[in-house]
Each structure stands twice: as structure tokens, then as C-alpha cells.
Amino acid sequence: MTEALLQRVRMRQKELVDFLREIVAIPSPSGGEEKVVRRVQQEMEAAGFAEVRIDGFGNVLGRVGDGPRVIAFDAHLDTVGVTDANRWSCDPFTGRLHDGKIYGRGAVDQKAGMAAMIHAGRLIRELGLVEGCQVWMVGSVLEEDADGLCWHYILQEKQLRPELVVSTEPTALRLNRGQRGRLELRVSVEGRSSHGAMPELGDNAVTKLAPAVPALAALDERLRRDPFLGKGTCTVTWFGSRGPSLCAVPDHAELHIDRRLTAGESAESAVAEVADALGEACVEATIRIPRFVQPSWTGLVYPRECYYPTWTLPEDHVALQAGRRAYRSLFGEEPEIARWNFSTNGVAISGLHGVPCLGFGPGREELAHARDEHVPVEDVVKACAFYAAFPAAYLAATAASGATGPGGGAV
């Protein structure tokens, strides 16, 4: 069946590629995804999904199959912007097909995963590949600005509660089982303004905060390292000030920290380390975790602290066993097991809500957000076949291990 499944995808390759090119050509910045969400909804309905709906946050959810078991696949539909279109080799919003690759903003991050998921759902339905199980394909929104918030809404508001989620973020067709977490921090100091011609009468907030920059760089060098997830990082990504004018001593200065959290690190431990580093540099400052309060495309504001926890799937987890089995049966070799360098919706799915998450996606993550972003067509074809084969492999693996999902054993 698995060899026939891959052949079936190849027979329909043009339809898959055409749809992917179409949605790549639809601009969908975070908060502006409505048009691509509606197009994905149409494709799900045309593929014969049993149920398709858009939730209050703006995520589109489509179901094939029925029964008590529930698993889900996820692809976010928003993209980062394009600031250098004239330096691309093609228009980033045409979905150009060239030399076996599809080019455009969002091609790899991650509309390729969405296209492969929908066409896999159609195959699951047509071939009757699962019994007693609902398979949900989720096109999520606002991930680029607030990774995981979409799934925090889905799980917190009980839109869906799967026993497992497969993230289709790019993995270069490896099986990914985790990622470092992420924490945003704001560090600010207050000063006193005076005329720039008489700085001695003021208290320069920039001068007071400036020693924090090398102190935080030094903190980065001594952060802990995990054998699987790698090292935690601490990076100053923005520094700004406020004052009456450019001819005045600034009375407020602030910097933004992007803190990547490896295994064993938390928001509390990261804040404490920053406080210690500032203290050593004699910087008296306020440290806070900002809140994300931007609306989704539906207008809904769903506030949350900008903390995105670290997560991993255990090496012996039944979902990873099932992924290996599906991969071997399709491609005749062992998959590589890895992890993401960047952040994904897994921070909410698994990190916040404890739902196991496995990653498998077309294309390479280092092409995300890059100029001339692209994805190989062959990767999209293989990902589609994997998504169609995985649910049955997972159900078989859980049955063999005695794990039957929520209420029937630990998975």
C-alpha cells in the first residue's frame, strides 16, 4: 500500500504543485491571512473533507475520518514580510516553478506543508486509510508574530483536543522531536532630560543602559548547553530611547532581548540570570516579559505573555516509532532524527498544553525568511505521501504498544 501511495501522489503531482503555487502567490502577513485561509477552506471542501470550519481566532480546521481517536497536522499560513523584493531572482508572490523548486515568500515556511496536508487528507479519505480516527488538518495563523498562540487558542478554547499533533514546519524530511523555547524580555531604565547643550544637568538614560549590552553578550557565552537541543542564547535585538528631541538628553531607554531556552531553562531562571548580569554591570533597570496583544485577522485579541516553553518528544515515544515505520515503508531507508533551531507552534501544543508533537516537513528551515525562499517539489510529494501514511502507522503502533490515546493509556 505504501509504494502505491507514493505513486498515487506522483500521479496527482500537478494538482498539488498548482495549489501550492497559488497559495504562495497570495500575500498573507501575520494578521492579514484571511484571503489564504478562505482559499485553503475551499481546497479542503473540494477535497471532500467531512467538516471544514474557521474558528474565532481565524484558524481553518478540516477533518477527514470519524471516531473517538483524534490526531492533527498543523501548518501556519502567515508569513514574514518582504523588504528586498528587488533583490529576489523572481517576484516573491508568483509561486514561480523553476528547476524542480517552487519559489516565493512562504513557499517553505510553510505553505508547502499546508498543500501537502490537504492532498494527503484527500488520499486518506479516498483510500479509507484510517478507521475509528479523526484526522484534522489545521491551517493556523499569526504564528510568525506569536508562535503557538494559535494553538493555545485552539486548545484553551476547546476547539480541538488531539492526542498527537504533527507539525509540518520544514525539517528537510527529517523527523524532528523538539526545539528550544523562546522568551522575550524588555529591559528599561529611566533618566532625566535636559538640553543637549547642557548634558550635565540631565541623567542620560542611554548612557545608563548601554553597559547592559556587553553584559548580556557575556551572559550569552556562559549559558547552559543540552546534548540534543543545543545551547541557550541571549541576544539584544533592539535598543531605543525616548526624549523631548534629538537636541535633548533622553529620559528613557529600553532594549529587547531574544532569549532561546534550552532544556532545563525557564522564564524564571532566564529573568534571574539577566537580573544578575545587569547587577554585575551596575545597571539598575526594570525587567519585564511583554504581552502579545495584536489582533488576529478576525479582530480577536487573545493576550498572552511572550514566553514560549521548550519541549521535546521522548526518543521512545510511540509517535516517533510510527514515524520511523511510515518513513521506512515509503522510502526504503531510515529517517534522520533531529530538532528545529527555530521556534514552532509546538511551544504551545507540547510546551504549554502537554500534547505530544512530532515534526516532519518539506524543505530546509534555513531557507525560511530568506531571500529566494523555495521548496523542492520532490520534498512536497514525499511529505504528502508521509502525511497520508502516518495516521495508520500511528494507530497500529499505539495498538501494538497498548497505548490508545487519552483515557486509554499514556501516549
**Catalytic annotation present for 78:** yes
Q: Which of 43, 109, 143, 251 is catalytic?
A: 143
**Catalytic annotation present for 18:** no
With helix as H, strand as E and coil as C, how does the chain read? CHHHHHHHHHHCHHHHHHHHHHHHCCCCECCCCHHHHHHHHHHHHHCCCCEEEECCCCCEEEEECCCCEEEEEEEECCECCCCCHHHCCCCCCCCEEECCEEECCCHHHHHHHHHHHHHHHHHHHHHCCCCCEEEEEEEECCCCCCCCHHHHHHHHCCCCCCCEEEECCCCCCCEEEEECEEEEEEEEEECECCECCCHHHCECHHHHHCCHHHHHHHHHHCCCEECCCEECEEEEEEEEEECCCCCECCCEEEEEEEEEECCCCCHHHHHHHHHHHHHHCCCCCEEECCEECCCCCCCCCCCEECEECCEECCCCCHHHHHHHHHHHHHHCCCCCEEEECCCCCHHHHHHHCCCCEEECCCCCHHHCCCCCCEEEHHHHHHHHHHHHHHHHHHHHHHHHHCCCCCCCCCC
Q: Which of 78, 226, 251, 373 is catalytic?
A: 78
Instruction: Give the active site residues.
Output: 78, 143
